[in-house]
Amino acid sequence: MTLLIVAIGAGLGTMLRYLTVTFWSTKPQYLTAIFAVNMVGAFFMGILMATGATNALHHFWSTGVLGGLTTFSTMMTQSEQHATVQQLLYLLIQLVGGLVIFGLGFALATFL
């Protein structure tokens, strides 16, 4: 049953990512769209991790929706397509930004 719940969540997350990227369809905005979905996903993952829940609803949101929404492979493909300095900067911003945003979500959920 958990597998089905995760699969449904992943489908929803993937559709949200697709709609976001489609909305920002030109090249510079495409990079912004992937950055945005990764940061939103990291923020909400921080909130979910702060709850400490491990039930089916948690799996639906964390592994399912947020796992489908965020994308490490697209980020890596995008970084490969840029000049070396741009590539490193893009990766650094994504990785450090994701950790910071995750921490903010975790802190916010812990504080509330």
Could you tell me which residues are annotated as the binding site? Answer: 67, 70
Neighbours of 73 (CB within 10 A): 7
- Residue numbers in the known binding site for Na(+) are 67, 70
Q: How far from 11 is each of 5, 30, 36, 70, 87, CA to CA, in Å?
A: 10, 21, 19, 12, 29
DSSP-derived secondary structure letter, 82: S
